[in-house]
Structure 1
Amino acid sequence: MPSLKRSFSTLLAILLLSVAASVHAQLPDFTGLVEQASPAVVNISTRQKMPERAVSGGSQLNIPDLEGLPPIFREFFERSIPQTPRSPGGGRQREAQSLGSGFIISEDGYVLTNNHVIADADEIIVRLPDRSELEAKLIGSDPRSDVALLKIEGKGLPTVKLGKSEDLKVGEWVLAIGSPFGFDHSVTAGIISATGRSLPNESYVPFIQTDVAINPGNSGGPLFNLAGEVVGINSQIFTRSGGFMGLSFAIPMSVAMDVAEQLKASGKVSRGWLGVVIQEVNKDLAESFGLERPAGALVAQVLEGGPAAKGGLMVGDVILSLDGKPIIMSADLPHLVGVLKPGSTAELDVVREGSRKKLRVTIGALPEDGQELAGMATPGVERSSNRLGVKVVELTDEQKKSLDLQGGVVITEVQEGPAMLIGLRAGDVITHLNNQAIDSAKTFTEVAQGLPKNRSVSMRVLRQGRASFITFKLAE
């Protein structure tokens, strides 16, 4: 019996060792990658002189309670607490400092990092792995993509290998090298959580989402695949506390290199532009527009004289694809349009009044600054529609001209009823109801009286110059 027990124990030990070896064999070994890639990863620090101002006598700074903030997307908090050295006059002069990462992409010293790492800097210092420091020249930066291109003097500098971010797959292992909190060449690893991710106020970057641990100081550093190729620039995190919470976002290298090449050639970046305001197609809107499923980008506004207007795109069109590339979420459209060259032609697949059509549009150049539509003047004689619970008046000729509208009515009063429940306000302009253009108060009343019950109905509303579609249902 003792011999049998020993045999069983030996067999179990062998089995456990075999399982451990198998698991170990399946996990990636990053040592070779780190040794090869680290020499091209740099630390970036900046200095910015701030205007002199009075500083309170106390030395304690009031730091906000970050834990109390709602979930938000943040650029990393590279900007450290401002230093306050005494000026020659005896007062205090503030000097803001920031810390981030970057990587060398050419032997003659071109370096990529984030725009927000070097924004407004008076001096940019690049520290190499051998601890030598070089002052960098800013070749150009692009706030829309958060990419900046720097240049340091040197020859035969170590460089990273560039990969194809479009080949990334969800679940693939990736690794980040950077300087979180100033700890140079810190290495963290994880997997790709998603690709083509859209973030609030970031319309032109289809972000790579990972669970790689990223913290302040990693910003601008490279994201590597297992082949040791850079596939992204670590840029943002989703956080409640200001620190890493498992959601990190990187700029794809396909986007970053396109930006870098344009910055190197001309110092600025040009992007394609359609000239439309779009919104998401939810279940109710899909039903209202006769779509099989919620998908595409709903055109809520077409800017006068823009590429979309010239190409025949209309308010209420739902864009399903661009050059054969499907648009599942509305945020997919700016990514696809932005990479097109101004002057090129794109084919749009749209649904209009329940029928599919194809339009060819000549892409324009994205303007430097957006333009707001003009406001409205005081309306005149009232007409009401008790069916929806609103009082409306027709737009004056001046209002139509300022808003670039052919028709429409403006709400003067919201009463108890469906309008109040869906959030309509006095001053809102209604241009379409139940997929029909509203050219007068009479038309509005007639369409409102014929609205179906217990079915999603769409309404296009302008509020402070911004257009959007909303949906609602009328009860029996």
Structure 2
Amino acid sequence: MLHKKTSFWVSACMTLMLLFMPSAQAQLPDFTALVEKAAPAVVNISTRQTVQAQSGPGAFHGLPDLEGLPPIFREFFERSIPMPRAPQGRNKGRQREAQSLGSGFIISEDGYVLTNNHVIADADEIIVRLADRSELVAKLVGTDPRTDVALLKVDGKNLPTVKLGKSKDLKVGEWVLAIGSPFGFDHSVTSGIVSAKGRNLPNDNYVPFIQTDVAINPGNSGGPLFNLKGEVIGINSQIFTRSGGFMGLSFAIPMEVALNVSDQLKSKGKVDRGWLGVVIQEVNKDLAESFGLDKPAGALVVQVLEDGPADKGKLEVGDVILHMNDHPIVMSADLPHLIGAVKPGTTVNLVVMRDGSRKNLRIKVGSLPSEDEGQEMASTSTASSKDNRLGMSVIDLTVEQKKTMDLQGGVVIQEVQGGVAAMIGLRPGDVITHLNNQVIDSAKSFTKTAKALPNNRSLSMRVLRQGRASFITFKLAK
């Protein structure tokens, strides 16, 4: 009897487990149909370049040692890993031919190909190898280093093409798939999920990257990132690595960004993007409190370039930009993404926090200069000091210093004597232009403002150091 009861309960439990536990097959996607349809439009890209050869004991004779590198974001393949060909004859000893490998994908039947700029940068010859192993010489239509996008053209008709999608429809946790040529292994397929959207990476202000955990390695660069519908929603571009290999952090350029760039390259050979002419920084908790914000959000303006769009639109240093049109600025990195996508000449509405209240500004967006504008270096001074509560001595800027740094006023730190100034890392030569949201035009106004600073609350100070402006926060004890 006991045996029958035991068998009954075992059978019942097994039935319940089968009913309520999803099978592994039902949980995991099947990529086979997607790969069969999309793979023919994915290409291998190789380049040849004549470079100056190294000589002596440090000459390059093989693959570089990638172990032990610092944790930095690097361009994929470090411009690919160059594979030198030994020079033949004495007259060729000063030059060698370097090769690199990457990936790309065909977006039109007549032969337009998208890839990364760093895959083909400085190449003397670009070869596109199709899935059927045929090779075509590619013409460079144009490149955009700021987004790391390049557009190529090969001669062909009725070429296989990928289906293009929109990254804005992606959701974090969604399955994605990459096809490329890691280490030269053509049409390798890897899969993973979307880890995050809108990532901002160092030195990449105009790309809200898609972060994934898809296994990406040197050679995947420039290849497509697919969603489960078989649509390309990004171009695999960068990895985060300490060893040179995959570590679970991969980044792709959203397809909307890539297509906007490729359309402009095709039509006019260059890319125009919107520009405000400001330097911004992130708003942390202390800065939010000092500027009267309920929570950390927005882009804090630390510098307004003279005669730029922001200057003409009456944007001021110390303004916190909270919205552009209907788009909230949550992180400061959101602003360059949004402004960069605006057509130059378009008027946008900015909502800013100024002196504790919201203000609407209408600004006509300019065109981003072809080269980043240089910032002037600040000069130190040796004049007499002024006393204040912050543990430092300051003096007025000279007329020449104001002209050099394009400032109407401000003070330069002559000596750091201790106290708060030392604790927050101020140095002689730093220039202070704002204190507690007040414009500082002289040592006298600085001393007056410093004496009136409240205790035990977050206060802000705008500091210029070697031409770079930033707001820092501090508190004064009783």
What is the TM-score with the length of structure 1 in the denominator?
0.95
Q: Report if aligned partners of 2:80, 2:102 keep a CA contact under 8 Å in 1.
A: no
- Aligned residue type for 2:72: I
- 2:48 is matched with 47
Report % sequence identity.
70
CA deviation string 1:373-424 (max 9, x = no partner): 3334553632322421111110111211221211110111111211111111
Q: 1:392 to 1:346 in 2, by over 3 A?
A: same
- 2:73 is matched with 73
- 2:360 is matched with 358
> C-alpha displacement at 1:356, in angstroms?
0.2
Q: Report if aligned partners of 1:319, 1:350 keep a CA contact under 8 Å in 2.
A: yes
User: Which residue, out of 176, 179, 185, partners 1:177?
Assistant: 179
> C-alpha displacement at 1:18, in angstroms?
5.9
**Does 2:305 correspond to 1:303?**
yes
- Aligned residue type for 1:73: F
CA deviation string 1:79-114 (max 9, x = no partner): 224414123326363222111110000000000000
Whole-Å separation in 2 of the counterparts to 1:175 and 1:374: 46
Single out whichever of 410-419 and 274-283 deviates more from structure 2.
410-419
Q: Report if aligned partners of 1:87, 1:93 keep a CA contact under 8 Å in 2.
A: no
- 1:29 is matched with 30
Equivalences for residues 199-348 of structure 1 within 5 A? 199-348=201-350
Q: 1:263 to 1:62 in 2, by over 3 A?
A: closer
Whole-Å separation in 1 of the counterparts to 2:60 and 2:104: 33
- 2:409 is matched with 407
> C-alpha displacement at 1:191, in angstroms?
1.1
Single out whichever of 24-33 and 138-147 deviates more from structure 2.
24-33
Q: Report if aligned partners of 1:234, 1:249 keep a CA contact under 8 Å in 2.
A: yes
Q: Report if aligned partners of 1:74, 1:238 keep a CA contact under 8 Å in 2.
A: yes
Q: 1:151 to 1:372 in 2, by over 3 A?
A: same
Gaps of 5+ in 2: none
Q: 1:21 to 1:432 in 2, by over 3 A?
A: closer
Whole-Å separation in 2 of the counterparts to 1:190 and 1:59: 36
Whole-Å separation in 2 of the counterparts to 1:444 and 1:468: 18
> C-alpha displacement at 1:205, in angstroms?
0.2
- Aligned residue type for 1:201: N
Q: Report if aligned partners of 1:385, 1:448 keep a CA contact under 8 Å in 2.
A: no
CA deviation string 1:247-283 (max 9, x = no partner): 1110000000000000001111011000000000000
CA deviation string 1:189-210 (max 9, x = no partner): 1111111111111000000111
Q: Report if aligned partners of 2:52, 2:94 keep a CA contact under 8 Å in 1.
A: no
What is the TM-score with the length of structure 2 in the denominator?
0.94
- Aligned residue type for 1:131: R
1:300 partner SS: strand
Whole-Å separation in 2 of the counterparts to 1:198 and 1:93: 38
Whole-Å separation in 1 of the counterparts to 2:172 and 2:124: 40
Whole-Å separation in 1 of the counterparts to 2:61 and 2:138: 34
CA deviation string 1:157-181 (max 9, x = no partner): 0000000111111111111111111
Q: Report if aligned partners of 1:79, 1:96 keep a CA contact under 8 Å in 2.
A: no
Whole-Å separation in 2 of the counterparts to 1:249 and 1:62: 24
Q: Report if aligned partners of 1:55, 1:92 keep a CA contact under 8 Å in 2.
A: no
> C-alpha displacement at 1:6, in angstroms?
6.9
CA deviation string 1:282-307 (max 9, x = no partner): 00100111110000000000000000
Q: Report if aligned partners of 1:82, 1:94 keep a CA contact under 8 Å in 2.
A: no
Whole-Å separation in 2 of the counterparts to 1:132 and 1:19: 51
Whole-Å separation in 2 of the counterparts to 1:42 and 1:465: 45
Whole-Å separation in 2 of the counterparts to 1:109 and 1:469: 50
- Aligned residue type for 1:42: V
- Paired residues, what number? 475
**Does 2:137 correspond to 1:125?**
no
- 2:170 is matched with 168
1:50 partner SS: strand
**Does 2:404 correspond to 1:416?**
no
Gaps of 5+ in 1: none
- 2:449 is matched with 447
2:222 partner SS: coil
**Does 2:433 correspond to 1:431?**
yes
- Aligned residue type for 2:143: S
**Does 2:137 correspond to 1:135?**
yes
1:459 partner SS: strand
CA deviation string 1:427-475 (max 9, x = no partner): 1110111111111111111111221111111001111111111111112
- 1:387 is matched with 389
Whole-Å separation in 2 of the counterparts to 1:263 and 1:332: 24
Whole-Å separation in 2 of the counterparts to 1:82 and 1:130: 25
Whole-Å separation in 2 of the counterparts to 1:213 and 1:53: 33
2:342 partner SS: coil
Q: 1:280 to 1:218 in 2, by over 3 A?
A: same
Whole-Å separation in 2 of the counterparts to 1:436 and 1:92: 60
- 1:88 is matched with 89
- 1:190 is matched with 192
Whole-Å separation in 2 of the counterparts to 1:197 and 1:339: 16
Whole-Å separation in 2 of the counterparts to 1:446 and 1:59: 62
1:313 partner SS: coil
Whole-Å separation in 1 of the counterparts to 2:13 and 2:379: 85
Q: Report if aligned partners of 2:115, 2:150 keep a CA contact under 8 Å in 1.
A: yes
> C-alpha displacement at 1:70, in angstroms?
3.3
1:144 partner SS: coil
Whole-Å separation in 1 of the counterparts to 2:372 and 2:383: 34
Whole-Å separation in 2 of the counterparts to 1:168 and 1:88: 55
